[in-house]
Structures are given as structure tokens and as C-alpha cells.
Structure 1
Amino acid sequence: MPSQLPQADRDPEHMQGHWVLAQLGKRVLRPGGERLTMRMLANTPLNGKHVVEFAPGLGRTTRLILNAKPAAYTGVDRDPQVVNIITPLAASVGGTCVQADAADTGLPAGSADVVVGEAMLTMQSERGKRAIIGEARRILKPGGLYAIHEMGLAPDDLDNTVKTAIRKDLARVIRVNARPLTAAEWRNLLESEGFEVLWSGVEPMALLKMRRNLADEGVRGVLRIMRNVLTHPDLRARVLQMRRVFNTYGDSLTGIAFVVRRKG
């Protein structure tokens, strides 16, 4: 397992869930899998655009963005190890990756045509979500696009007690205070921050299902993950905890994506 991955030096018991999976060799860490990311990007013109990516992680989506030949690319992540991973990729188009918080990037106002962010807003409070969405709006040109891929709750009228139970159990097993929203709640949040929805899509939350992993990681990738699961019992225990929660709430958890346009 690559030792340079974020949180690689942490006790596995306290490592955030997505980095646990990364340590085991998983490369697609998005709630709706690569299929939903591809659908989102297919509805987000990137060619010839100045693209900013919030929290690019291991760079799986970064590569998809760069393959679309943007005019410029800037990654933003507060983790210096992620910056070190993304910087060489960005350099292929003369781009860069800066170490900064997505809520306060330091990038010029109105400088981006497209902002992409995945699996990050879910981990924020409502105030944190609004801060990041507001920063995306600030750095976008009028009419610019913001594409997000997050964790969703279904249906829209899901009982509040179930929502609370899901959030508590997720926080317990992934070591992050996750607050997924229903499709209607995501839409209302984005619209209240000055965006109009152009497209949305959902996929099952099947992050730890064999079929999804074969699609996302390939046979060799799945074999690599299984080998690491078998040989690292501390990480295996964390994965089993996550799988139990995902299975318990399987009908209520989704991957959800939006492409929205800045108004004004």
C-alpha cells in the first residue's frame, strides 16, 4: 500500500473511512461510483474551460477532467499529500494544485468556468456546506457551472428519526460527521446559494458491493483490495463496520450528483 497516501501514518481505528478504503487499494471513492461521475461530467462541458476541482483526492476524477482537454486546471486541497499527488497530473496541462480550504481558496473572483467537487459537502455541517458552495459561486464566472457528486438520502420524505440514525451511524463508522441530504434538500441548498439546477442523477450507494467494485476497479483492482483486506486485520475490521451500516440503510442511501449554473 502506498505510504504517501493521506492519513497513512494514523492509527487505522481513527482514520477517516475513505482513506481506510484508499489504504486497501480502492481508487474510486465516490458514493455513486465512477458511473455517476462519468454521467456528471458528460453534462459538464470541460473542453477549453478553466476548471477548478475541490478536494481531488487520489486524482481519479482529475484524470477524467484532464482527458477532456480543459484550457486550464487548478486543484484545491488542504492536505499537502493530496497536493503532492495532484500537482504532477495538473502540470500536464500547465495547471497546478494549491493547498487551501475549499471554503477559502484564495483564487480570484470570477476566474473559473467550471468547479467540480465530489464527496466533500456531505462531510460538512450546513454552515460548512454553504461556505464551500458560496466559494464556488464566488470564483465562477456568471453562468459558470458547478458539478457535485455526494451522498444522498431517499426518499425526499424520509422520516427525520431515520435521517438522524443514519447520520449517527455513518459518523461512528467513517469517523467523519457526515450529513447527507435528500435530493430535494440538496436542490434547495444549491438554489438558495444562487444556482439553478441543469441536471441531476442518482446511482445506488454500492461502495462496498462486489459488482460496483468490479466496474470501478476491474478484476486486478478487486484482487488487490481483497489481498489487502485479508492481510490487514485492523483495516478489515473498519471495512466490516462500514459495510454493516451501508447494508442496514441500503434502501435509504444513494449517490447523487448535480450540475448547476451560477445565476447572475
Structure 2
Amino acid sequence: MSLATAIVERSKVSVPALAKPLGSIETFFRDLAPDWHSQWAWDHYESTILDLSSQFGLRRVCEIGGGRDPLFSTAQAARHGIDLIVNDIDAGELALTPAGLRTARFDIAGDLSEPDVTRGGYDLMVSRMVFEHVDDVERAWTNIHDLLAPGGVALAFFPTLWAPVFAINHILPEKLSRAIVHALYPARRDGGGDPKFPAFYDWCRGSRRQLGPMLNRAGFSDVHIQRFWGHGYFDRMPGLKQADHVFNALAAKTGWDFVTTYAYVVVRKDRV
């Protein structure tokens, strides 16, 4: 074997041993290429979390506000190699967590001295339709920074202002808002399968310009805001449904983040 051939053969062996660059959260979503419509966000929430887990090597997962309806069952978490802990502020909700899953009761925007708190103990923290119910979101993100391990990632999926449907929910008195939801969706009753909690919409926006400085103050420099438009609230209302779709499609095309309907806010803690 010639010297040149030996060098080539040696390089073939050594290259796979090199660590794959993790890249940024921004790069991750650029490669993922989400659709503009919020249906993509709902349909791909689980797969996005699994892709984040795989890409960044995240195994210890805390689901914020998981309560009665966690993302994964015990068997599913085991199949995906995830060590899942379900969090909720409400003991009653945690009591409904499916058997076999570990739970942790603490307020994500509260005092982190509770017994169930593990600072730096999570690789990935996720939440779905939770942050609109948190009345101090900046403190919640600061607490998440403390709870994440170095290099850890957090994803919050929530509705945003000022989409008209959520602006109305935000402005109306809670009793009236609750009555409207129960009239439109009779299966949603307090104590049922999908109770309605008061919504504050603190920092629930789809704008990087607005959210970026707050997330930087919380300790994050690697930040991505994935914006979505459109919703399904008018699906039973012909005419209005089509008009609303045209409006949201145009807003998405022009990047009008003032009227986003949902957002994924994704952050990663520095490794050092």
C-alpha cells in the first residue's frame, strides 16, 4: 500500500469518530421547514420534540402542565428513550396522570424551593397550551433557565395576541368567555376531559423583536420564535371560515406577526 493510499484509508476511519456539530435552534427549524398554518404546529408537536431530543441528545424531559394529559405514555416514553417527568401546579391534575409516569408538583413561575424541584436536572422542558395561563411568564422563563441542564432546550407552544379569536378571549370577562367555550364545545366542562383555565396571555406574542430581549434577560442567547397563523375555531361557520383563511394566509405571506395565532418559542441554555 502506498503512503497516499494509507492516508486516504486512515481518513475514512477517523471522520465518523468526529462529533457532529449540534448547530443552533434557528438552524434546526430552518432544516425542519414548518408550514405557516397552525395545523402544522398541532400535527407536528410530538415529532418536533422527538427530533429535538434526537438532534441535541436530550433525554431527561419535563412536561410542564402535563397533568391529566401528558404527551407520552410510560410505554411511549420508554420506546423513545425518554425519561419523562410530568409537572403540574395542581395536585388534582397530577392525580390524574396515567400510572407509571413520574410527577413533580411545582409552579413554573413560582418559588423553586419546593421539594419536587430539581435545578439543572432537565435536558428538555416542553409545554403545550400552558403559558397563556401563567401570570408571570418572564419569571417562568428565568426559572426554566435554572431548571435546565447546560445545553438544555425548552419549547413552549401557546396561542398569541393579537389574533382576533384570542384577543376576544383576553378582553371578555372570564365567566362570559367560559360560557362561550362551553356553548361551542359542550364536551369541555370543568372537571371533564379538557377544563378551561383563566388566560392572561402575558408575553404570549409571535414576535422575535418583542420576545427576544425578555428571553435574553432570562438567560437565553439561542432563541427561535416559530410563528403560525390560522386556526380551526371557524370550521363550523361557512363564509367566515374562508374569509379568515384568506386573512391569515395573507398575514403569513407578509410576515405580519402582530396577528399570529400560535407560536413555538424554543430556547437553548448555554453549555457553559
Aligned position for 2:211: 186
In the alignment, structure 1 residue 100 sits paired with structure 2 residue 109? no
Residue deviations 1:198-242 (CA, integer Å, cap 9, x gap): 54423335253549xxxxxxxxxxxxxxxxxxxxxxxxxxxx9xx
1:260 is the counterpart of 2:267: yes
Say if 1:36 and 1:255, in contact at 8 Å, map to a contact too: no
2:198 maps to 1:176: yes
Verify the 8 A CA contact 1:144 1:261 in the aligned structure 2.
yes
> TM-score, normalization: structure 1?
0.57
Gaps of 5+ in 2: 1-37, 179-196, 249-258
Runs of 4+ in structure 1 displaced over 6 angstroms? 162-166
Aligned twin of 1:206: 231
Q: Distance in 2 between matches of 1:86 and 1:136?
A: 22
CA–CA distance in structure 2, aligned partners of residues 80 and 153 of structure 1 = 30
Q: CA RMSD in A?
A: 3.9
Aligned residue number for residue 74 of structure 1: 85
User: Relative to 1, partners in 2 of residues 1:140 and 1:45: Cα closer, same or farther, differing over 3 Å?
Assistant: same
* Whole-angstrom distance in 1 between the partners of 2:173 and 2:48: 25
**Residues 147, 48 of structure 1: CA spacing in aligned structure 2 closer, same or farther, 3 A cutoff?**
closer
Structure with the bigger percentage of strand: 1
CA distance 1:49–1:253, shift in 2 (3 Å): same
Counterparts of 1:65 and 1:198, CA distance in 2:
26
Q: CA deviation at 1:48?
A: 6.2
1:49 to 54, 59, 71: 59
What SS does structure 2 have at the residue aligned with 1:62?
coil
8 Å CA contact 1:195–1:262 kept in 2: the answer is yes
CA distance in 2, matches of 1:32, 1:119: 15
The one of the two structures with greater contact order (alpha-carbon pairs below 8 A, sep at least 6) is 1
How far, CA to CA, are the matches of 1:176 and 1:56 in structure 2? 17
Tell me, what secondary structure is at the counterpart of 1:38? helix
Which structure has the larger Rg over C-alpha atoms?
2
Local SS of the residue matching 2:84: strand
Q: Distance in 2 between matches of 1:41 and 1:102?
A: 19
2:118 partner SS = coil
